[in-house]
Amino acid sequence: MSRPAALLVKKDRGMTSGSFRSLRYRRSLTLLAAGILIATVTLYLALPIIALFLRISPDLFFTTLRDPQVQSALWLSLFTTTITLAVVLIVGTPFAYFHSRYTYPGKIIVDTLIDLPLVLPPAVAGVASWLWFPYMLAFPVNLLTGAVHGHDVWGGFRGQLIWIAVWLFLCRTAWKQGIKRYGAAGG
């Protein structure tokens, strides 16, 4: 189906030099924003490394690199990174190709399992910091080793008392519900 010539002419007339200027202006703003974003991310990643090199002298840096424990840690990091890279290339790449190209039963579950490590650690850390674990397990150890001082000691005791009260309330409530539901008679 061909279009009438009048419509083609109207379309051609609609593109004025002003619209080309606004298009160039938007492109330049987009490039400027992308440049600022790239510079910000680069500085965010590079500043800690630069600060590390500015805080210590080159002699201390190379002396530290010659330390056997540091060399062992660096070799271990290199070894584990190499093994991880090999596993990802051998197993992960073919699986990712298969997973993205084909539909199979349970694909939604696999998607969830793939996304879970990205979402779960922050959520688990947030929930765990409010649960009884820090107050009943870590706080006594930190108190005995002298790792907590001042207001943190009172905050730890307050957290322990709150969780003891919560557990006593839950136990008492469960006991009352159990007594109401079950009864025993005998002598």
Between CA 102 and CA 92 the distance in angstroms is: 15
Between CA 59 and CA 79 the distance in angstroms is: 27
3 state SS of 69: helix
Q: What is the value of pTM for the model shown?
A: 0.41
Residue 174 falls inside a structural domain: yes
Looking at the fold, whether 35 and 71 belong to one and the same domain comes out as no
The tens-digit pLDDT sequence of the chain (187 residues) is 555 555 444 444 555 556 667 888 888 889 999 999 999 999 988 888 888 888 888 888 889 889 999 999 999 999 999 999 999 999 999 999 999 999 999 999 998 888 887 777 777 778 877 888 888 888 888 888 988 888 889 988 998 999 999 999 999 999 988 888 887 777 6
Residue 135 falls inside a structural domain: yes
Residue 96 falls inside a structural domain: yes
Q: How many domains does the chain have?
A: 3
Looking at the fold, whether 47 and 83 belong to one and the same domain comes out as no
Whole domain around residue 73: which residue ranges?
Answer: 67-103
8 Å CB contact between 134 and 128: yes
8 Å CB contact between 136 and 123: no
Looking at the fold, whether 42 and 72 belong to one and the same domain comes out as no
Looking at the fold, whether 161 and 141 belong to one and the same domain comes out as yes
